[in-house]
Structure 1
Amino acid sequence: MSRLLLTRATVLDGIHGPASGHTVVVEDGRITHVGPDTEAPQGADGDRVVDLAGRTLMPGMWTCHFHATYHELGAKPNVPYGNDFPPSYQALVAAKNLHTALEHGYTGVVSAGGSNEVEPGIKRAIEDGLVPGPRFRPSGRELSTTGHANDAVPWHWHMPAPGAVRVCDGADGFRLGVREQIKRGAEVVKLFVTGGHGTPGPKDSVEMTRDELAAAIDTAHARGALIRGHLVNKPAIMLALELGIDIVDHCDAMDDEVIEALVETGAFVVPSLHFPKHFLELMGDGLGFNADAIRADLAHMYETIPKAQAAGVRFVLGDDYGAVGFPHGLYGRELRLYTEHAGITPLEIIGWATRNGADLARRGADLGTIESGKIADMIVVDGDPLADIGLLADHKPTAVLKGGTVVAGVLPHS
């Protein structure tokens, strides 16, 4: 079988700093060799040899808070949340958004909720080759209680429930809700545990009881699914960590005690600061009293994230792209935000995007780093992103490889 030899690469393997003058060999979709050019196997008949001429070769990235079905969500305020388009239309939106992520170098995506259980079908379409897309862990409707922050739309005279939400009440209600979503193909269950962080509900509200939260987490784990929660205030964060939640979305009240619990449990954190920062810059004091609160939350997180990073908290990328005024495709601006405002180094943020993302998706054994034996999901960057994060933040990669096949961009001519 023919091989792909990527020579004279600067390899950023997701573990160490850059290594220049390296060759990476790909065969049958997997990496079979990584090492200095001087130790590389010779090309044979049928092999493709590509001289990267010093370009950076790094693992494909993961975005781990993704709403594939969302497009200008919230632009129609009188429409039930997530029913702004019919499910067939939402499937096309999801396919487009996932392809957009792939073009930007995100070869892996983990969902944080989607309307009308559309996402599992899109995953199958990608795997069957009907549409191009990244490796995808789909979700279903977001689960929470009657009247919670995203159940605040007007009652619509017995029209169908909001397409992005399934309301549950009581421990048994959440057991049923989680089982139902997993039956319909969800691999990630999303809970709304608190208000705050872009929702109509106050950030100090706790919208699930301890029994409800425990039932949801236990049921998801019993069926092999990941479970995540919209978690903003400290009591709810600490309770969710105690009960074993896998992913904390937002974590706005992170402090030393929360950091300690995150390290002890190994839960992942998606700060998703790009969304509030974007709207603060867009509207400023036009946000009203929320503007000062958002500024304070951002300042707190900018100060706390480096402490948490140093302590060993596992951060990943992702945000609420697809909300009104916040389109898919802006993903790279997250990289700039965390490096410029939170003091995270480019090497650390690339670790969030690669190794940590694959670990969250439970694919760390075969993805997330460039090592012999791993699947060849990689991106080629024209330059050094450690010296200029803008090469990732502001531009699509030169080439995106999924399983050793170029799926976006082009490799340099050999």
Structure 2
Amino acid sequence: MDRFVYIHGFNSSARSLSGQKLSDLLNAKVICPEYDYARPFSECMASIRRQIVEAVDENNDRICVMGSSLGGFYALQLRLPSIMHVVAWNPVVFPALQLAQFLGRNTRFSDGQEWEFTRSIMLSYAQSPDPRPWRNEMWFREERRERGMTNDASCERIDHERAFSSCAGERTAMSAGASVLQDGPDVPRRDIFLGDSDDVLDADLTRAFWQHSAVLHDIVSGHQIVDYSHAEALLKKGKLLNDFSDWKAGEEWCVPFLKGGAFSMAAFFEPGEDMENVCRLLSVAEADYLELHGEKNGAPRDFLGVFFYPRHEARMKRLIAGLVRHGGKKRYLLLRADGRVLRHQVASNYLMDSEVHARPSERNVAAFLRNAFPGWQGKTLEWRERRKTSSFNQAVARSHFAALWSREVDPVEAFERSVHAADGQEGRRN
């Protein structure tokens, strides 16, 4: 599911009008975490992160984080694997300097309460890492804590200028610079809107700081954003997918399709003549899928439909492309729950993402299959759900496949190659 988060700015609160305006614009619930800007940076960051993690399903949800002013600063600082888009309006860049104008007594907009912004709180922001490289020091600290590691001599400095450090196994393309990292597969898109009449922050400073690490947009606005309609298309692009629960079967034999109703995406492809082995690989990958049995021109012809969530789209594309190549075919269809059908061509050594868009007249499974596979007559569908238990050998195979899946462009080819190599070694021993 696609989830939206809005982080309020300085002197504002989670009850601000901005969160409600964005919710109305998106026609979706917007999560609005609360944080106390009278507390140090690290405490605010931890509080925001905790509230978001408690409100989403990190394994399957995709998160779009939004924020204005100081909230934009936090949105751009936040690091979660499920974040796929960050949008900020007039974000603070250097809080330890730019917030000096608010030192002393302040009045919250939301409830009129007075509070004091102290110099020590302002200077706590000096510890915030450079947010431009996606895998920055904040992420590394979090990983070290999860692994029970400490910042000791085993961690070596890899970039003295930006003060990034890395422990063994953590070295990445960070040293190549933020512009390279922006193109990485796990780096979310970042969009920043800058008002042309912002009299609170220096828009030119923000533009200079983020020019190579985010997409910048100039808008007609002051510091406070009154109307967010300029961002509607951007915020909705590729998001707001439903699930398949609202789809109709169309014909009785299509009913098993609805067992995948909780998912948001599915890939359909022809397994070729090796249906049994492809299904075995899907089982090793712990995928939920459909077997589609039918015929074309009187000859048997079968397909497979693999279900997953948008969060895993890039990962699943590599799996499906590998399975298609393994079956000796060249293409597959990606079906989204909102009715879009995307046709992917699998080349000999890479996946070409040329897409042909089509929209079924209604969300009807039988109609989709007829349009997707002209001339094909479906007979039966069988739902295959991932097994909750398995033998020791199956567990080892799944663990091995998962490791290959994380690092190989084609996990299927790599897995089959390793299995054949293991079989060859076993044969030589015998």
Flag the structure with more relative contact order, 1 or 2, with Cα contacts below 8 A and sequence separation at least 6.
1
- TM over 0.5, shorter chain: no
- TM-score category (smaller protein): under 0.3
Q: Which has the larger radius of gyration?
A: 2
TM-score with structure 1 setting the length? 0.28
